[in-house]
Amino acid sequence: MRVTVIGAGVAGLTCALELSARGASVEVFERAPQLGPAACSWFAGGMLAPWCERESSTPLIAELGAEGLTWWREHFAGTVWNGTLVVAHARDTGELLQFGRRTAHFESVGSQAVTALEPELAGRFSQGLYFPEEGHLDPRAALAALAARLAERGVPIRFGVDAPPRAGRAVLDCSGLAARARLADLRGVKGEMLLLRLPELQISRPVRLLHPRMPLYVVPRGQGLFMVGATMIESDEATRISARSMLELLSAAYALHPAFGEAQIIEIGTGVRAAFPDNLPRLRRAGGSLHVNGLYRHGFLLAPALARRAAGVLLEGRRYPEVMDEDPGERRLA
């Protein structure tokens, strides 16, 4: 089968790889001139945290996410698998209890264990939750590695062009929020992030700091770089970070460790996550294409499991009721 994949974000690239690995002839079209900030994927934290994400999602996300975590470990050598640490200051321990009630696969840890995991946090947190089976990656390195893998397999990525209509090819639309013209119930959720440089601070795994108003996470990127994220704002405006968000992200980083007060701000980024009303991902047939969309705040975590299912639908005619639905617009027309 010949397949056109629209979009070179994490969904498009993982789908292209799965399809090609199963023998399809694939080409990818990306409207931007290169892998980069046109894709929401560019701004992701890269946390592969199926059990932490359970806090604000359904068991489906943990199931698909556990599959995704394994996929990344097998397909991307840069995947780090050393868990997630969740902490809260003494006045916010109620947040920690709630987080624990809503999640699974963690160990409750005291200050000694926090120190053993992250020595730089010694004496700062008396309680935490450790999710040992979670991982993380650098999204930009992961996208580049996927693109390189596709090139090795002879799968072209045609940059700078919208996918042209092609007779005789199946179309897999992974265009993120741009698909809103065809998927009317898709919406944007803005996420703002910072990239900070602080070589003096050694943190080896994602650390989430719970707080009733501004929960934050810090993901180490190596070489003294830290991604600090992320806001969740019901908006599809991706041009600028607000002063309030900047203040909150920096204050929370400082509350995690005061050394962040000395960090250099390397990058300020905003991406817009595409989400359906229930914040769950979909494989949906609409307008003659199969869409993979609505990856919301879990795109790296979920993309591999969705890619496998998209390949199963296109190449084997399989159905996956847990992620497939009808286009509500087409239902109305019928």
Site residues (CB under 6 A) for ligand FAD? 6-12, 29-32, 38-41, 43-47, 162-163, 174-176, 178, 191, 193, 229-230, 271, 273, 295-301
Helix/strand/coil (H/E/C) assignment for every residue in 24-36: CEEEEEECCCCCC
Spatial distance between the Cα atoms of 91 and 229, rounded to a whole number of angstroms: 22
Choose between 111 and 180: whose C-beta lies nearer to ligand FAD: 180
Rounded to a whole number of angstroms, the minimum distance from the CB of residue 153 to ligand FAD is: 19
Contact 51, 133 (CB under 8 A): yes
Question: Bridge-partner residues for 189, per DSSP?
Answer: 273
CB of 215 to ligand FAD, least distance (A): 13
Cβ at position 173, least distance to ligand FAD in Å:
8
By residue count, the chain amounts to 334
- Residue closer to ligand FAD by CB (options 41, 57) is 41
The CB-side HSE value for 154 (13 A sphere, CA atoms) comes to: 4
283 SS3 class:
strand
**Nearest approach, Cβ of residue 100 and ligand FAD (Å):** 20
The sign of the torsion formed by the CA atoms of 94, 95, 96, 98 equals: positive
The residue type at 126? S
User: Are 221 and 249 within 8 A, CB to CB?
Assistant: no
Pairing mode of beta strands 282-286, 324-326: parallel
Identity of the residue, 48 or 127, whose beta carbon is nearer to ligand FAD in the bound complex: 48
Nearest to ligand FAD of 127, 308 (CB atom): 308
Q: Tell me whether strands 47-48 and 135-136 are parallel, antiparallel or unpaired.
A: antiparallel
CB of 91 to ligand FAD, least distance (A): 26
Task: Say how far apart CA 191 and CA 136 lie, in whole Å.
Answer: 18
CA 163 to chain centre: 24
Between 9 and 215, CB nearer to ligand FAD: 9
Output 125 or 300, the one with its CB closest to ligand FAD.
300
Residue 273 CB, shortest distance to ligand FAD, in Å, is 5
Pick the closer one to ligand FAD by CB: 159 or 320.
159
d(CA 328, CA 334): 10
Q: In the complex, what is the shortest distance from the CB of residue 334 to ligand FAD, in angstroms, rounded to a whole number? A: 26
